[in-house]
Structure 1
Amino acid sequence: MKLIVGLGNYGSQYEATRHNAGWIALDQLIEKYGFTQQKNEHNSIIFFSTVNNEKVLFVKPQTYMNNSGIAIQAIMHYYKIEIKDLVILHDEKDFPVGKNQFKMNGSAAGHNGIKSVIQYLGTQNFNRYRIGIGQPEQGWKIIDWVLSKFKPEELENIILASKSISNFVNDWTKGTTFQNIMNLYN
């Protein structure tokens, strides 16, 4: 079983914000692969899918960004998912919009959602897909920047980039290692 989690905040006021880049990317995967069932459990919306005869859970935690680890830990425990079978999709302010990257392991680098995941999983050794949202413009505080809406052309860029890497799920469920996913898509 594979677990793909998009980090974000729930509520209409957060739709299309930079901090919800993980949810935006996850929506593209859900659109491509579909789902057979949807449940609200473990403080999350879980979309159940099957790709190449492998169960895949697409997850949107409903804990707000800074408490994402609570939901992810609960899902991993309940469904007995190994850390190697987890990918977190999240915003990355150190990358410009349009630059995205798969990554294995690493610190939170100031990202509070990732910090929560590390805290609750007890490790920083998990797979990620980092989605560039750019640095704050002159005069912006980081918190205001990440909670600001994407410009229409930026949002389109995020959607197109997410669609372009969506085949990683197909490759991953066929047994391609995450190291090879990075080699193929980065």
Structure 2
Amino acid sequence: MKLIVGLGNPGDEYKNTKHNVGFWVIDKIAQELKLNLDKQKFNGIFAKADDYILAKPLTYMNNSGLFVQKIAHFFKISNDDILIIYDDMDFSIGQAAIKNNGSAAGHNGMKDIIEQLGTEQIKRLKIGISRPLNKENKNYVLTPFNNEEQKIIEKVVETAADAAIQFLSNDIRIIVERFNAKNKKRKDSFSS
């Protein structure tokens, strides 16, 4: 059983914000696989297939870890079979990468997941949202993309969803190679 979790904040006021790109990828995967996130448990929503789960915590971003820990424990999913999808200010808009492990690098949602699971050995797909010019991070992540950025991010979300779907039936190393190579080309083509 594999678990793919997209991070974001619940509620309509956050729906279109940069911090919610993890949710967008989960929604795209669910659309592609014709699934509905219609189950609710552990303060989150999810869709369960025979051998995988797609999920979104309904907590705020910095409290995502308990949901991930509880759903993984309940369905007996090992940390090695979890993929977390979230926004990353260290990558430009249009960039993304899959990593096998690492620190939270300042992302509060990932920090909480690492604390709750007790390891940094967690696969993650990071989607670039860039850094604000004025360094006011909290407000920046809670704003929408502009029209030009939105067009770019929609393509990245499609690519990220495809990579996550491939993760369901492939070794992560194959996905990392394919996705990171493909995304490098995308980054070059979207560089501004």
TM-score, structure 1 normalization: 0.91
* Contact 1:25/1:159 (8 A) holds in 2: no
Q: State the number of aligned residues.
A: 180
Name the SS for the 1:166 alignment partner.
helix
Report if the CA contact (8 A) 2:84-2:124 is conserved. Answer: yes
Question: What residue ranges of structure 2 are gaps of 5+ in the alignment?
Answer: 181-192
Map of 2:69 onto structure 1: 73
For 2:155, give the aligned amino acid. L
Q: Corresponding residue for 1:49?
A: 49
Counterpart amino acid of 1:35?
A: L
> In structure 2, what is the Cα distance between the partners aligned to 1:166 and 1:107?
23
Distance 2:36 2:25 in 1: 19
For the pair 1:162 / 2:157, whether they are aligned, the reply is yes
Distance 2:36 2:94 in 1: 31
Question: 1:122 Cα deviation (Å)?
Answer: 0.3
| 8 A Cα contact 2:45 2:56, kept in partner | yes
Over 3 Å counting, the alpha-carbon distance change for 1:13 and 1:122 in structure 2 is same
**Could you tell me which amino acid in structure 2 is paired with residue 85 of structure 1?**
D
Counterparts in 2 of 1:110 and 1:183: CA distance versus 1, 3 Å:
same
Matched to 2:126, the amino acid is R
- 1:120-140 C-alpha deviation (Å, 9 max, x unpaired): 000010100000001112x35
Deviations 1:78-130 (A, max 9, x none): 00001111000000001011001111100011110010000100001010000
Whichever structure has more helix as a proportion of its residues is 2
Q: Is contact 2:37-2:45 (8 Å) kept? A: no
Q: Structure 1 residue aligned with 2:127, among 131, 139, 144? A: 131
Residue matched to 2:88: 92
Q: How far 1:37 sits from its partner (Å)?
A: 6.5
**Could you tell me the percent identity over the aligned residues?**
37
Where in structure 2 are the equivalents of 1:1-186 lying within 5 Å?
1-35=1-35, 38-49=38-49, 55-137=51-133, 139-174=134-169, 176-186=170-180
Distance 1:81 1:157 in 2: 33
Q: Contact 1:25 / 1:158 at 8 angstroms: preserved in 2? A: no
After superposing the two structures, state which structure 1 stretch, 17-26 or 64-73, moved more: 17-26
Structure 1's unaligned 5+ residue stretches are: none
Q: CA deviation at 1:170?
A: 4.2
Kindly provide the amino acid, as one letter, of the partner of residue 102 in structure 1: I
Structure 1 stretches of 4+ with a deviation exceeding 2 A read 164-174
Q: Using the alignment, how far apart are the partners of 2:173 and 2:36 within structure 1?
A: 29
TM-score by length of 2: 0.88
- CA distance in structure 2 between the aligned counterparts of 1:183 and 1:16, rounded to whole angstroms: 30
